[in-house]
Structure 1
Amino acid sequence: MNSIIAIVLAYLIGSISFAVVVSRLFGLSDPRTYGSKNPGATNVLRTGNKAAAALTLLGDGFKGWLAVWLALTYQFQFDLSDSTVAMVGLAVFIGHLWPVFFKFVGGKGVATALGVLIGINVWLGLGTFATWLIIAYAFRYSSLAALVASLFAPFYYALLFGARIELLAVVIMSALLIYRHSQNIANLMAGKESRLGSKKKDAAEKEAQKPHHEHKSHKKH
């Protein structure tokens, strides 16, 4: 019973979409309605509000770390198996992808996945993050960096710990992350993917910077 409760709680923690919550606090439009329509830090950054994007990134990463940290901290107190801890990490990630609180429309999971990896082991998380940074700096594609980092994450885990049960969770998480980036993969292959630091902004992105009440007032005129 404790294992089921831990997994369900992890999923609920993951279901807190910080992109939507932070956007509402800052008076920005719902990130699911503009740009890539992805509720994540990269899309929030399209509004030009760097503080909102940073809080989104930190929040999404924190919830991944928190779920795993809680499971590991109270593992023996509540008699949680290693398999349960692995499922907790996977559950918080799935919660981000398909959040129950936001009609199952979630983000791609990069920050949350990183938080989970740091929760499992700080060196595992830092190694994966370093991979992301290297690829992002070299090629200027956030999506490509995420894809490469997700491919290397299971390899890093196996190198550090061998074939433990958590490795399966990391593999599944990496596979889901790649799946969520399917459109980005198509854009990369077609040469249409936007680069980091791109100055291009469309009308939807400009509108996203305006609070909802401004949109309504414009419509009245």
Structure 2
Amino acid sequence: MLLLTVNIAIAAYFFGSISSAILICKLRGLPDPRTQGSKNPGATNVLRMSDRPTAAAVLVFDMLKGAIPVYGAFKLGVEPLHLGFIAIAACLGHMHPIFFGFKGGKAVATAFGALAPISWGFAFALIATWIIVAKVTKYSSLAAIVTVSLAPVYTWLLKPLYTNSVTMLSLLILFKHRSNIKRLVKGTEDKLSS
């Protein structure tokens, strides 16, 4: 089972390394998102530089990068803690993509895709938290930070078996947002409305 986990984690990293933001922007004749706005190749930055359908396509593909390997591993009987490692591998692929010079995004959508199959209630709690915080504050990064911070709590309440795996993934996403946290404290972070 450990060998299976390692193989799926390696595949998850390579799958996660496919940057939908860069590829979709290229297909649409848009600039590389790593050179525009927040310079983050993710759905929020793509929305800032294009339109909702383009950003939605990026969002869906990025979620699938987390959901497919984790859900596939779950169906193959991989244990909960190892599912966390597979989710982390997919997110690391998005953050440090081997196909794009290791310059990737924050992996929020990829992490959500990895976490959503835990349960419908859990997925709804994550979505509701992000939407409420984003609507109230207009900060996508703050919405992500609050959501991933609460994810282990939601897991403990709804599916405690996965609490350790979710906590590991949440810590990775929070670490990746350390520059956003500094900008939020300084009041220099970009808002969604901008």
TM-score, normalised via structure 1 length: 0.81
Q: Compute the displacement of 1:50 (Å).
A: 2.5
2:123 equivalent to 1:121: no
Partner residue in 2 for 1:43: 45
Q: Compute the displacement of 1:125 (Å).
A: 1.9
Residues 116 and 133 from structure 1, CA distance in 2 versus in 1: closer, same or farther, beyond 3 angstroms?
same
The residue type equivalent to 1:167 in the other structure is T
Runs of 5+ unmatched residues, structure 2: none
The residue type equivalent to 2:140 in the other structure is S
Name the structure where helix makes up a greater proportion of residues.
Answer: 2
The residue type equivalent to 2:84 in the other structure is A
Matches within 5 A, 1:64-213: 64-75=66-77, 80-162=78-160, 164=161, 166-198=162-194
| 2: CA distance, partners of 1:195 / 1:187 | 11
**Could you tell me whether the CA contact under 8 Å between 1:136 and 1:142 is conserved in 2?**
yes
The residue type equivalent to 1:149 in the other structure is T
Higher radius of gyration, 1 or 2: 1
**Could you tell me whether the CA contact under 8 Å between 1:7 and 1:84 is conserved in 2?**
no
The residue type equivalent to 1:64 in the other structure is G
**Which range moved further: 141-150 or 189-198?**
189-198
Partner residue in 2 for 1:20: 22
**Could you tell me whether the CA contact under 8 Å between 1:64 and 1:119 is conserved in 2?**
no
TM-score, normalised via structure 2 length: 0.92
Q: Compute the displacement of 1:48 (Å).
A: 2.6
| 1: CA distance, partners of 2:80 / 2:145 | 27
Q: Deviations over 1:75-128 (max 9, x none)?
A: 2xxxx3333323212211221111111121111111111111112323222211
Partner residue in 2 for 1:2: 4
**Could you tell me whether the CA contact under 8 Å between 1:184 and 1:193 is conserved in 2?**
yes
The residue type equivalent to 1:73 in the other structure is K
Q: Deviations over 1:172-206 (max 9, x none)?
A: 221121122222212211222222222xxxxxxxx
Q: Let me know the Cα RMSD of the aligned residues.
A: 1.5
**Structure 1 residue runs of 4 or more that deviate by more than 4 Å after TM superposition:** none
Residues 82 and 178 from structure 1, CA distance in 2 versus in 1: closer, same or farther, beyond 3 angstroms?
closer
| 2: CA distance, partners of 1:82 / 1:134 | 29
Residues 82 and 180 from structure 1, CA distance in 2 versus in 1: closer, same or farther, beyond 3 angstroms?
closer
Runs of 5+ unmatched residues, structure 1: 199-221
